[in-house]
Structure 1
């Protein structure tokens, strides 16, 4: 008997895209019943396919009409619980209404944008790998003391504290999955741009051991390291090793990911779409939870409009996270001069982050602006900003400033961090001084940090309260890199405005800067942590006794915003005209502040 749509349901642990267990059985049943559509579901998600397009091997984005989020259920014994039952019923009702309206011609067939579908597929793969990795990491941590110590050390390197809680293991698992998928996706993008130089990823079907899969993939990645660079993406550390356990399910998930990506024609994707894929690979809620890596683009653009004056300005973000400030600075410079080459642009941007994951993200987010050029190496240093000690001193030599980036390849890349820059911008971490030893795991680190920041050579340049947050030291140390007339733009906790916490920092500002503006919002929080009140601060370097009169006569703009930034600033979009219009609106807000 003819049917309109056949649906194949499986238990929640099945991958909703699984070819063998879900899609192929559903396709065969739909073909036999002459059903125009079929769907696959694992009670968490539902994917709606067009039978004819699947049978004719059309690209996946043309096969799929739509996708639906049903629930977060893991065990069908709980399906009668209201939070699962109601969610599943509501989503299925939406699907059936859409199916009816499309079939009767009341609405057109929905179409899937290639980037939206790819993001959805990759997020699904991240979720599945993370579940496996979490159990493996948790089990190994409790059974293997050496592994446990390495994991705790890795947490310290991320500026996190490890408390043996379930969320700690999940956090490690998700970063493992993100790093692996980013590497595979980035390799595919590179291979399309360099087909004569790089072979397509190819994993034998009978390969079933994690160690063998790791060696196979690393042989591809090592070639990139040796011939093209990208150390901050492809160099490996402890957490990368956990991605390849001798677990058949994990190995099959990774092999399937590689097979899925082969179906996508990356040569058709523009850099704007590629950028959107990497940007949205981490869901909004998780970006919110990883607030130290991601900063609201509206805040970033407002700070840059205050600080970035010319396309040739050198920009340094000393706690660069995922690279939002640097990526937006890249775009701002392109809008100033469309003829600016990719490498010219990269040569004026520097970032530094102590943790691997954000350094990895920053490198990708800058590199993808042009993957076809031979020289494409974003200047991202994975290291401690406070170890960059020489600043702007006269004896500052280029060789002394070089930092060798860790690599698995034979080629070692050393890049100098900047001697002097026009803009220091960023969102430095908010960590109280008393928390520094527990997070760093090193009692001596706090003393070294304070000494490196507060002294320029033998000269002490600031007195900071012992209760001030670590962001205060970013201001002091960052000043050594900023040229006269250069601008400093940070979003930070407003605790420095407190008489007790901030007296030393306030005095430092008054001796070295004209304070251009301090901006706070009365209607929205700019940090994910609800306990932290924040402000944007913009400074212009104007140090020395002979500039005292200029500093004293400067009028500081203290500004409260009674509307959210979105009221003043249009959303970021890809179209050139809309980008230009967005910056014009930000300039209008800047003029209002000034």
Structure 2
């Protein structure tokens, strides 16, 4: 008897509990609880918690109600680690409640707002010991019935919500199996590779074919084995999950339910082979290199997943949605090194909806990655009445790398298209051409078949975000140049996608469309101007869309655009320029479909407004004019008249100013002296000049005029002898203090600063100016005027020095007009985290200011008067700035004097819109 009690474990109790729960539910057909599962629950790694609850409570329609965490009496129900683990499992299920029960005490937690609170508890009248659990079955069975009645009541009153089983395989499951399983798997693979050079040769070959070459230093053996291990893990998870998914359509798939705690790796692989041979999805079950090599730790985790999937699908006949589980896998294993990122499903739907006009025709994603966009292509066809068979035969997906294509094949699998060849294949986009043959697997026979590539009615893709510097690591440059029908000199320093966009023209029919997602680099960079010229020559640009409210891609610090193209017709046509108004997390299928349908016929609409997007329509001449001016095409979003109208009343700023950028001092401790330290240095005033330095500090709460300076520049151009003759020993002592000092790499300062003239202790070439602006801007614009006549500035400033006699007060006002601020935004580029990079050379060539020759003397006086109160305060972030009365009064006066007062409202809308779009690249 004592041995029986000792052998009775928490798992044993869990099995008995599940039996009692199912017996209780069978006798109560009206109960919202169907029963329980989890009798095959397995422990994770030694000493680790399980990934899933010990007991799963399910509803009548086989949804997940909640999970139970079981402990014996020696673990209190308020144990912090137990509660923490239970919360993690609950969040993994997306349920809003869980129960912890240690035989004697049971507590039910519910999420209320953002807190977990105990909303129910139950207790045995007489406490039992660990050794008495088995013999106390009658007591805890009575308590179980109380608990089930309480849970039933909470479910009936909708205090506890059930969730679909499809939500159980979330990205956290992939993430945690990857987290705990990767390193043990890497160690196993490493040992195998060390003992078998034949295997290591295969691994190297796999790395070349399946993944993108990494940047320098990331092709080590450990890194390659880690990539293989991660791919093996996700491949195993997908096979387990997909096997259960197939139970909806295949009797053979129920073989997966025979896998249990005693099954081996060989049993699993054999089962997958049997399911594959009896289904139409051989390509999905294609082996991955080394799949038979599974570490003990990883296999334990996979067994837990299998037991869990069996529990949530067995009684429901496998009836659960696979898509969300698949999406979780895609997120867990994405090709960031390839410059490819998972396309959010609703963004893919919008792209497809804007591109495809004829659903029955052939369409392809030539950079398919994991197949999100190809899946939306397929779904669009089904939604428009195309049969699954015909949709399969007209949907194509290809990618240069084999690993993501496994996901694409899974995502395109459809039970209603049994026997049809999935047109998913491995090919570099630059190798695609009409009539070229590619090989596919016949899902019925398993034999290879060949198909010729057609011309496509629609090409839809999220193109790789690979910058020019990395193209040599990822693509054959000559091949890409040939594909785009350009030589490399024609488009120097262009990102990879630019070549792809130009090359896709040969793959579409005369009436076909191309819809692509790219980074926004082509809208503003130097090479972008040439690219825009080629676009205008080769295509009719039908739409350019971007986000005005957060990034579309949360896992990529890049601002993206949608570009819709048709073959050039010679007429040019019109172009929609639009910005999505809502964060992508707030999008809905209905909203996305409405936007796509509206924009497809936007030119035929009387009212050009659609909820969720702001847009305007421009012609080819406008695009050409903006490109010639170096203005981003996104400037047409509010009113295309704004920029042409502004150009007529402005003049180049370089007509009145010379532009310069501050430089480094060479050794700030010596040359830049804070005001509070001046007295202690003893340096004579002759060698101290006010300096503008460190914009964040210098400009914080600083007004536009009479800008104070708290840093002084040590500015000495005299020799030691000359300083001694003047008895200027303060400066001399200051120099000698640093004469034997070294820089950060140990080089003596007289040596590292020898380029300074006439002496090493003279400052470098710091430009002096009467107007200053910050080099990089977030959302606060301003051109400042120091209190001194002219002062030098350090490297984070651009200085403007008048080249002729000017009215400095008027010029200061014009430099801060909304027109000038807008032009800075229009002609500058965005860099890391959404900051505006005002390159000095570009700014000096492109910046325009209101033309002072257009003002009467009275206009000038009024403008100066209206600017005065604005100049006495710090500028504000642009959205707030344009609401200030002094700012509005000033711009109203100036714009009215220029004759474009009618555009003030649109200008006030456009500038914040552009700033929001730029800042969309900021990390979440």
* 1:564 equivalent in alignment to 2:577: no
Partner residue in 2 for 1:248:
296
Q: Report the Cα offset of residue 178 of structure 1.
A: 1.5
Q: Check whether the contact 2:247–2:254 (CA below 8 A) recurs between aligned residues.
A: yes
In 1, Cα distance between equivalents of 2:471 and 2:54: 49
Cα–Cα, structure 1 residues 187 and 531, in superposed 2: closer, same or farther, change >3 Å?
Answer: closer
Q: Report the Cα offset of residue 233 of structure 1.
A: 1.8
Partner residue in 1 for 2:398:
352
Deviates more, 1:376-385 or 1:409-418: 409-418
Partner residue in 1 for 2:439:
403
Spell out the pairing of 1:15-164 with structure 2 (5 A cutoff): 15-17=50-52, 27=70, 29=72, 44-46=84-86, 66=97, 94-99=115-120, 108-115=158-165, 118-120=168-170, 123-124=172-173, 127-128=176-177, 130-137=179-186, 140-141=189-190, 144=193, 146=197, 154-156=206-208, 157-161=210-214, 162=218, 164=220
Q: Report the Cα offset of residue 234 of structure 1.
A: 1.7
In 2, Cα distance between equivalents of 1:521 and 1:65: 33
In 2, Cα distance between equivalents of 1:532 and 1:65: 35
Find 1:184's aligned residue among 240, 264, 275.
Answer: 240
Q: Report the Cα offset of residue 232 of structure 1.
A: 3.8
Q: Check whether the contact 2:334–2:341 (CA below 8 A) recurs between aligned residues.
A: no
Q: Report the Cα offset of residue 587 of structure 1.
A: 2.6
Cα–Cα, structure 1 residues 129 and 565, in superposed 2: closer, same or farther, change >3 Å?
Answer: closer
* 1:472 equivalent in alignment to 2:490: no
Partner residue in 2 for 1:56:
none
Q: Check whether the contact 1:487–1:540 (CA below 8 A) recurs between aligned residues.
A: yes
In 2, Cα distance between equivalents of 1:96 and 1:344: 53
Partner residue in 2 for 1:233:
284
Partner residue in 2 for 1:380:
424
Q: Check whether the contact 1:318–1:353 (CA below 8 A) recurs between aligned residues.
A: yes
Partner residue in 2 for 1:322:
370
Cα–Cα, structure 1 residues 355 and 376, in superposed 2: closer, same or farther, change >3 Å?
Answer: same
Find 1:519's aligned residue among 538, 545, 554.
Answer: 545
Q: Check whether the contact 1:379–1:415 (CA below 8 A) recurs between aligned residues.
A: no
Cα–Cα, structure 1 residues 200 and 100, in superposed 2: closer, same or farther, change >3 Å?
Answer: closer
Find 1:202's aligned residue among 250, 258, 274.
Answer: 258
- Secondary structure of the corresponding residue to residue 199 of structure 1: helix
* RMSD value, Cα: 4.8
Q: Report the Cα offset of residue 117 of structure 1.
A: 5.3
Larger-Rg structure: 2
Q: Check whether the contact 2:242–2:322 (CA below 8 A) recurs between aligned residues.
A: no
- Secondary structure of the corresponding residue to residue 546 of structure 2: strand
Cα–Cα, structure 1 residues 200 and 585, in superposed 2: closer, same or farther, change >3 Å?
Answer: same
In 1, Cα distance between equivalents of 2:556 and 2:261: 49
- Secondary structure of the corresponding residue to residue 320 of structure 1: coil
Deviates more, 1:264-273 or 1:508-517: 264-273
Partner residue in 2 for 1:555:
574
Cα–Cα, structure 1 residues 95 and 518, in superposed 2: closer, same or farther, change >3 Å?
Answer: closer
Q: Check whether the contact 1:495–1:502 (CA below 8 A) recurs between aligned residues.
A: yes
Partner residue in 1 for 2:484:
454
Q: Report the Cα offset of residue 335 of structure 1.
A: 2.7
Cα–Cα, structure 1 residues 301 and 140, in superposed 2: closer, same or farther, change >3 Å?
Answer: closer
* 1:495 equivalent in alignment to 2:516: no
- What is the CA deviation profile of residues 240-261 of structure 1, one whole-angstrom value per residue up to 9, with x for unaligned ones? x15633x333333333433332
In 2, Cα distance between equivalents of 1:152 and 1:48: 38
In 1, Cα distance between equivalents of 2:336 and 2:98: 24
Cα–Cα, structure 1 residues 287 and 428, in superposed 2: closer, same or farther, change >3 Å?
Answer: closer
Q: Check whether the contact 2:165–2:313 (CA below 8 A) recurs between aligned residues.
A: no
Partner residue in 1 for 2:455:
420
Q: Check whether the contact 2:367–2:462 (CA below 8 A) recurs between aligned residues.
A: yes
Partner residue in 2 for 1:55:
none
Find 2:327's aligned residue among 262, 279, 286.
Answer: 279
Unaligned 5+ runs, structure 2: 1-12, 15-42, 56-65, 100-110, 123-146, 603-607, 609-614, 618-924
Q: Check whether the contact 1:517–1:556 (CA below 8 A) recurs between aligned residues.
A: yes
Q: Report the Cα offset of residue 343 of structure 1.
A: 1.2
Cα–Cα, structure 1 residues 27 and 530, in superposed 2: closer, same or farther, change >3 Å?
Answer: closer
Q: Report the Cα offset of residue 264 of structure 1.
A: 2.9
- What is the CA deviation profile of residues 158-189 of structure 1, one whole-angstrom value per residue up to 9, with x for unaligned ones? 22513559987765544322211111221222
Partner residue in 1 for 2:388:
342
In 1, Cα distance between equivalents of 2:79 and 2:331: 25
In 2, Cα distance between equivalents of 1:233 and 1:414: 17
Partner residue in 1 for 2:566:
540
Partner residue in 1 for 2:49:
14
Find 2:469's aligned residue among 434, 437, 443.
Answer: 434
Q: Check whether the contact 1:244–1:250 (CA below 8 A) recurs between aligned residues.
A: no
In 2, Cα distance between equivalents of 1:224 and 1:330: 25
Find 1:217's aligned residue among 268, 274, 281.
Answer: 268
Partner residue in 2 for 1:73:
none
Cα–Cα, structure 1 residues 313 and 100, in superposed 2: closer, same or farther, change >3 Å?
Answer: farther
Specify which structure has the bigger relative contact order, considering alpha-carbon pairs within 8 angstroms and separated by 6 or more residues: 1
Partner residue in 2 for 1:509:
535
- What is the CA deviation profile of residues 24-67 of structure 1, one whole-angstrom value per residue up to 9, with x for unaligned ones? 9965748x99x9x99996565206999xxxxxxxxxx99x8735
Cα–Cα, structure 1 residues 485 and 163, in superposed 2: closer, same or farther, change >3 Å?
Answer: same
Q: Check whether the contact 1:40–1:46 (CA below 8 A) recurs between aligned residues.
A: no
Partner residue in 2 for 1:81:
none
- What is the CA deviation profile of residues 558-583 of structure 1, one whole-angstrom value per residue up to 9, with x for unaligned ones? 44x2723559x8423xxxxxx5x651
- What is the CA deviation profile of residues 146-166 of structure 1, one whole-angstrom value per residue up to 9, with x for unaligned ones? 566655654443225135599
Q: Report the Cα offset of residue 348 of structure 1.
A: 1.5
Cα–Cα, structure 1 residues 463 and 475, in superposed 2: closer, same or farther, change >3 Å?
Answer: farther
Q: Report the Cα offset of residue 479 of structure 1.
A: 1.4
